[in-house]
Amino acid sequence: MPVFKYKGYDPGGAATEGVIEADGQRDAALKIKAKGVFPKEISEEAPSYKKRGLFNQFSPFILAGITRRLSTLMSAGVPLIEAMSALSSEQKGIWKGVMIDIKDRLAGGATLARAMQAHPSVFPEFYTGMIAAGESGGALTDVLMKLADFLETEANIKSKVSTALIYPVFMACVSVFIVMFLFTFVIPKITKIFEDTSASLPFITVVLIWTSSAFKNFWWLMLAAVAGCIALYRRIKRTRKELIDSILLKDPTGILMGLYMLRFTMTMGFLLSGGLPILKAMQLTAKATGNVVLENKIMSAQNHVSQGARLSAGLEGFPPTLLQIISTGEQTGRLAEVLKKTADSYEAEFERKLQGAIALLEPVLILTMGLVVGFIVAAVLLPIFELNQVMK
């Protein structure tokens, strides 16, 4: 339903303003007058997610904190509108605007779920779906606390991946910069001595001279090639994402598959425990996996489930162990609980594999740099030794 922003005067003649949901301008005017306000100006408000800005970035940690505080306020008996008012007063920037907008929508008669649905870039679909289920079931406080726990867990997983990759990526970038600097500026000055001599040079020195010359004369072509590869990858990812995701599923380390299964079990278990129907939970979980191939498989399984089949029978290509766990949960009627426990197991396994891969990557980078330096040293020293032998 459209939202209208209005300015007017209250029965006492004081200026007032606010927002209200209505089917149109006429309906908005009638609702405003019914509140005892004489409208001076009524205009339809554009949803906040359409107001693009440079810093319109929403942190999941902030959302988790807001959700937890809202649950705490409501459990203490604070009315919803007053709770939102308190939350908006302690926020800054775009978050403050979102909280104020939600508070105004609530004052205009909207439910919390509908008020949040006006901000899809802030509140994911599963979030508003859970809020709607909590409102209809009278368990909004408990749902908010579960949402906060889920958001914090999800954000912590992403943070662990980012933190673990910082050092290796930094080392790789520094290594590439050093190698390019050596071959472009340092090595040419050293190898010029050998180029001016008429003596035959060792093969390794010839390779060094050729490589250094290529870096010095064609560095722009190398950068263009790297930029072209990045652009090609992005184009393939945009147009043939299923191809890339199918390759990622074949990751020999099993890290990515573990991450996908962690997202599936954690999201599915959370949504089912929050009271969402299994078909809706499957639809939202499919989007949360982050892999188009698995998303299609989950949506295919959703069709089978809608026709009366069991979830474990419809999921093709998933690990047999997970399918057996799901089957057991279906038989015992504890599917949500079983999935949440399985997610804990996948999280521990994912963290262990990630740390192991990072621990292996660091010495590989150091060894690679050692080989490059060794190659340079050998290529420089060998002709010097040969010249010394000739002079003797």
Per-residue confidence (pLDDT) for residue 54, from 0 to 100? 38
Do 80 and 100 lie in one domain? The reply is yes
Tokens of 368: 């690679």
- Examine residue 248 and state whether it is found in any structural domain, yes or no: yes
- Examine residue 269 and state whether it is found in any structural domain, yes or no: yes
Nearest to 345 by CA among 264, 288, 275, 276: 264
Expressed as residue numbers, the domain containing 36 is: 3-45
Neighbours of 188 (CB within 10 A): 17
Structural domain total, the chain: 3
Tokens of 104: 């105004």
The amino acid at 262 = L
Biggest CA pair distance of the chain: 110
Do 123 and 26 lie in one domain? The reply is no
Rg (the chain; Cα; Å)? 30
- What distances in angstroms separate CA 385 from CA 71, 205, 216, 379, one per listed residue? 76, 12, 26, 11
Asked if 295 and 237 touch (Cβ cutoff 8 Å), the reply is: no
- Supply the angle between the helices 278-288 and 255-273 in degrees, to the nearest 10: 150
Do 140 and 248 lie in one domain? The reply is no
The amino acid at 152 = E
DSSP state of 23: S
Per-residue confidence (pLDDT) for residue 341, from 0 to 100? 92
Do 175 and 228 lie in one domain? The reply is yes
Per-residue confidence (pLDDT) for residue 52, from 0 to 100? 44
CB-based contacts of 260: which residues, under 8 Å, 6+ apart?
249, 289, 290, 291, 294
- Interatomic CA distance for residues 351 and 354, integer angstroms: 5
- Examine residue 37 and state whether it is found in any structural domain, yes or no: yes
CB-based contacts of 20: which residues, under 8 Å, 6+ apart?
3, 4, 6, 28, 31, 32, 108, 109
Q: What residues in the chain have per-residue pLDDT under 70? A: 1-3, 21, 23, 45-58, 195-199, 387-392
Do 9 and 75 lie in one domain? The reply is no
- Examine residue 203 and state whether it is found in any structural domain, yes or no: yes
Residues shown for the chain: 392
- Examine residue 51 and state whether it is found in any structural domain, yes or no: no
Nearest to 365 by CA among 148, 83, 171: 171
Do 158 and 142 lie in one domain? The reply is no
DSSP state of 50: G
Burial class (CB in 10 A: 0-12, 13-18, 19+), 231: exposed
Do 302 and 195 lie in one domain? The reply is yes
Per-residue confidence (pLDDT) for residue 49, from 0 to 100? 43
- Interatomic CA distance for residues 282 and 318, integer angstroms: 14
Q: Is the dihedral of CA 199, 205, 207, 210 positive or negative?
A: negative
Do 194 and 173 lie in one domain? The reply is yes
For the beta sheet containing 38-44, the strands, ordered from the edge strand earlier in sequence to the opposite edge, are 15-21, 3-9, 38-44
- Examine residue 52 and state whether it is found in any structural domain, yes or no: no
Asked if 335 and 312 touch (Cβ cutoff 8 Å), the reply is: no
Asked if 64 and 148 touch (Cβ cutoff 8 Å), the reply is: yes
pTM: 0.70
Per-residue confidence (pLDDT) for residue 56, from 0 to 100? 45
- Examine residue 303 and state whether it is found in any structural domain, yes or no: yes
Do 187 and 250 lie in one domain? The reply is yes
| pLDDT > 90 fraction of the chain, expressed in percent and rounded | 14
Instruction: Give me the CATH number covering residue 145.
Output: 1.20.81.30
Do 143 and 33 lie in one domain? The reply is no
- Interatomic CA distance for residues 278 and 299, integer angstroms: 12
Q: Write the DSSP assignment of 155-208 as a string of letters.
A: HHHHHHHHHHHHHHHHHHHHHHHHHHHIIIIIHHHHHHHHHTS-SPPPHHHHHH
Do 25 and 88 lie in one domain? The reply is no
Coil, strand or helix at 258? helix
Strand partners, 17: 7
Do 305 and 373 lie in one domain? The reply is yes
- Examine residue 54 and state whether it is found in any structural domain, yes or no: no
